[in-house]
């Protein structure tokens, strides 16, 4: 028996490997964000004065980004559907749309960050600290940490999807489109939590 036959005779594969691995990865990721959100919530309950800092975040940009992310999640689902039917052009179109969605999210985010930095709300906010508003500066530390970590995941997702797109365009590894989709939904889900916590609750 040669090695290839031997591999084929590895008996039981119950769930597609990648999908199972991705779900376990997501479970691990959610605990990281869960820990961070728990820390934020505890501080938020302790400092009602954070409401005035939260008022400086732009609900408009936050809502726009929510729409952008949700739409990109929709397109990746369409891409997955097309991948199941092996319609390569559709896969290419929908995956590109998702990547562009991610890009739009980041552009929005950077406009937002620029505005906030211009108003003196930076990561450790020296302006607020000099005026004695230390608690306020802590809000911005959390804000940048949480959105920044989320944005990092958006960037990672875009890189993954670009790699998968290059393969899927030629019909290779089409099952990976689904994995990108699962990951992207997680990114979306985390944003659904961050948006009300940081933008709406004022």
Partner 1 sequence: MSDTLHKKSFFRKYLFSTDHKVIGMQYTITGLFMAAVGGFLAYVFRYNLAYPGDHIPLFGELGAQQYNSFVTCHGMIMVFWVAMPILLAGFGNFLIPTMIGTDDMAFPILNMMSFWIFLLSTIVLLASFFVPGGAFGGGWTMYPPLSAGGYTNPNPDFFKAFFSGASLMILAVALEFVAMLMGGINFLVTTINKRTKGMTPFRIPLVVWFINIATIIFMFSVGPLVAGAVMLLFDITVGTGFYDPARGGDPVLFQHLFWFFGHPEVYVLLLPAVGAIGEILSVFSRKPLFAYKTIIYLALLSAILSVVVWAHHQFVAGIDPRMATFFSVGTIIISIPFAGIFLSYMATLWGGSIRFTVPMMWALGFIGTFLVGGLTGLFLGSNAFDIYAHDTYFVVAHFHYTLFPVVFFGFFAAFYFWFPKFVGKNLNPALGKIHFWCTTVFFNGTFFLLFFNGLGGQHRRINDFSLFSNVVKEPYITFEKIATISAICLILSQFIFLYNFVTSAVRGKKAVKNPWDANTIEWVADSPPPHGNFNPYPEVFRGPYDYSLPGEESDFIPQNVPHTNENIPVLKVKLSVS
Residues at the interface with partner 1 (CB under 8 A): 1-3, 6-7, 9-15, 17, 20-21, 24-25, 27-36, 38-39, 42-43, 47, 123-124, 126, 129, 134-135, 137-138, 141-142, 145, 149
Q: How far is the CB of 48 from partner 1 (least distance, A)?
A: 12
**Closest listed residue to residue 60, CA positions, set 189, 195, 160, 157:** 195
Letter string b/e over residues 184-200, b meaning 16 or more CB atoms within 10 A of that residue's CB: bebbbebbeebbebbbe
Answer yes or no: are the C-beta atoms of 32 and 145 closer than 8 Å. Answer: no
> Between helices 88-118 and 134-169, what is the axis angle to 10°?
160
The CB-of-40 to partner 1 minimum distance in angstroms stands at 10
* Distance of closest approach, residue 171 Cβ to partner 1, in angstroms: 22
Nearer to partner 1, 2 or 89 (CB): 2
Q: Which is nearer to partner 1, 93 or 182 (CB)?
A: 182
Q: Which two three-digit tokens encode residue 6?
A: 């031997």
Which residue, 59 or 167, is less far from partner 1 as judged by CB? Answer: 167
CB nearer to partner 1: pick between 15 and 89: 15
In the complex with partner 1, which residue's Cβ is closer, 33 or 94? Answer: 33
Query: For 198, which DSSP code?
Result: I
Give the DSSP letter string of 92-114: HHHHHHHHHHHHHHHHHHHHHHH
């Amino acid at each position: 028996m040669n090695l290839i036959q031997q591999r084929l005779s590895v008996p039981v594969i119950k769930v597609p490997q990648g999908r199972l691995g991705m779900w376990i990865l997501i479970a691990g990721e959610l605990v990281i964000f869960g820990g961070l959100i728990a820390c934020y919530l505890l501080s938020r309950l302790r400092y009602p004065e954070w409401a005035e800092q939260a008022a400086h975040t732009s609900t408009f940009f936050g809502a726009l980004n929510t729409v952008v992310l949700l739409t990109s999640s929709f397109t990746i689902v369409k891409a997955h559907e097309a991948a199941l039917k092996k319609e390569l052009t559709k896969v290419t179109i929908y995956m590109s749309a998702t990547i562009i969605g991610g890009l739009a999210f980041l552009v929005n985010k950077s406009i937002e960050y620029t505005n906030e930095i211009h108003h003196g709300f930076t990561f450790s906010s020296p302006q607020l600290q000099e005026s004695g508003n230390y608690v306020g500066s802590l809000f911005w530390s959390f804000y940048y940490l949480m959105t920044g970590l989320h944005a990092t995941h958006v960037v990672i997702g875009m890189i993954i999807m670009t790699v998968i797109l290059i393969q899927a365009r030629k019909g290779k590894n089409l099952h990976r489109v689904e994995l990108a989709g699962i990951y992207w939904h997680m990114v979306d889900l985390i944003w659904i939590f961050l948006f009300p916590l940081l933008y709406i609750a004022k």
